[in-house]
Amino acid sequence: MRTVVKTTTPPYRRLASAAFALLAPALALAQDAPVETMDKGDVAWMMTSAFLVIMMAVPGLALFYGGMVRSKNMLSVLMQVFVVFSLLVVLWAIYGYSLAFTGSATWFGSFERLFLSGITPESTAATFTDGVVIPEFVFVAFQSTFAAITTCLIVGSFAERMKFSAVLVFSVIWFTFAYLPIARMVWYGEGFLFNQGALDFAGGTVVHINAGIAGLVGSLVVGKRLGYGTTPMPPHNLPMVMIGASLLWVGWFGFNVGSNLEANAFAGLVFLNTLIATGAAVVSWTVGEWVTRGTPTMLGAASGAIAGLVAITPACGFVGPMGAIVLGLIAGLVCLWAVASLKKMLGYDDSLDVFGVHAVGGIVGAILTGVFVSPALGGVGVDDYSMGGQVLTQTLGVVITIVWTAIVAFVAYKIADLTVGLRVTEEQEREGLDTVLHGERAYND
């Protein structure tokens, strides 16, 4: 069974041959364990993957979001993404890594690695291959980028109306009590959902459903933008949106392929799945929009790319190429429906459609992973596989993620409101957050 295991192991002690001779019983036990090996190619690829994910957030996500808001709020979005990302990588090193990936509990970790205590350049982290390891510092860095960009994704839901200080307070609380437990449940060897057999290769539940639901809660708690539904609020810079989406697509190969933890042949499958599922989603969203609206749009094509990337994220290491294409086609159409129709039906103001793309796309990808992992459909298969049983397990993971993050997000927004205030005043919102909160303008002309 190929499952996503992300845990750490301490380095074996190197003892002199004379000491080994004196410790024959211990030596006999040690012979049963695989000898740890580290490949420079794996190490180089994992560091490359980490900075590809950094590029996804800054500048990719920042430009993608920034181009979609009105020009008077451009810098506020860039600041939120840039600073939240920076804050989260620091918190990850201080306590996040320890709470996510140490200890034996199923929901929360221990303080074993608090302040990265005990980690040295010789410390190693396990990969999917017995005996093959990577430096633990590299694993810490790679995982920090996941935690940081996940929290940044939420920014798009309440863009153009939430205080910068409130964004920071919310981010700290939500990261601590939503992201860390779900990451542990899904990816850690002792985690609850991991032991239930839930499949999530690179973050369908941990990243996208998690952030998307928090975004929906935020859009409801913060409330609608002034003039929403009556005043046009088109993106101010579509070329910037396209550039941001393209950077996200490129960086996503670090996100998905890096989650393989090794630069081996299997990584090629993950790479191909990520590429073609995204292309399929662009095509299906574009065609669907063309049919329903009469014109295909650049914003739609860029959104389709993100929908495909989101949907293939949990499935990229489990499905075959044809399954990836079908998954991308489905995700493009379903997310188009969520953004164009579901949003209007429910009446919420999710500024940049974090829920419609990330939560909905993540749900599609997470559940359909249980279908397309089937060897009969070209998937890699898992032990004791039955389609109904695996879909049920995937659904369990989706439901737990939705409920957990919704509760934590609601409490986090309320705490932010009680401490620093959640929303800017109507006068400040009309003027724009760039000058009001940051004293700067994106464009001086």
Structural domain spans, the chain:
37-438
pLDDT at 32: 54
pLDDT at 340: 96
Cα 156 to chain centroid, rounded: 14
d(C-alpha 236, C-alpha 20), whole Å: 69
**For 75-114, how does the pLDDT look when each residue is reduced to its tens digit (9 = 90+)?**
999 999 999 999 999 999 999 999 999 999 999 999 999 9
361 near 331, Cβ under 8 Å?
yes
Residue with tokens 């004196």: 22
Where are the strands (E) in 323-443, listed by range?
A: none
pLDDT at 34: 65
d(C-alpha 303, C-alpha 306), whole Å: 5
Task: For residue 124, give the H/E element and its range.
Answer: strand 124-126
pLDDT at 33: 55
pLDDT at 421: 98
Q: Please enumerate in sequence order all residues whose Cβ is within 8 A of that of 30, keeping only pairs 6 or more positions apart, or say none.
A: 12
pLDDT at 6: 40
197: helix, strand or coil: coil
pLDDT at 444: 85
Which residues in the chain land under pLDDT 70?
A: 1-34
Question: Which residue type does 441 have?
Answer: R
d(C-alpha 154, C-alpha 77), whole Å: 11
- Give the length of the chain: 445
Pairing state of beta strands 8-9 and 124-126? antiparallel
Q: Work out the end-to-end distance of the chain between its first and last CA atoms, rounded to an integer number of angstroms.
A: 59
97 near 144, Cβ under 8 Å?
yes
Q: Please enumerate in sequence order all residues whose Cβ is within 8 A of that of 217, keeping only pairs 6 or more positions apart, or say none.
A: 405, 406, 409, 410, 413
37-438 maps to which CATH number?
A: 1.10.3430.10
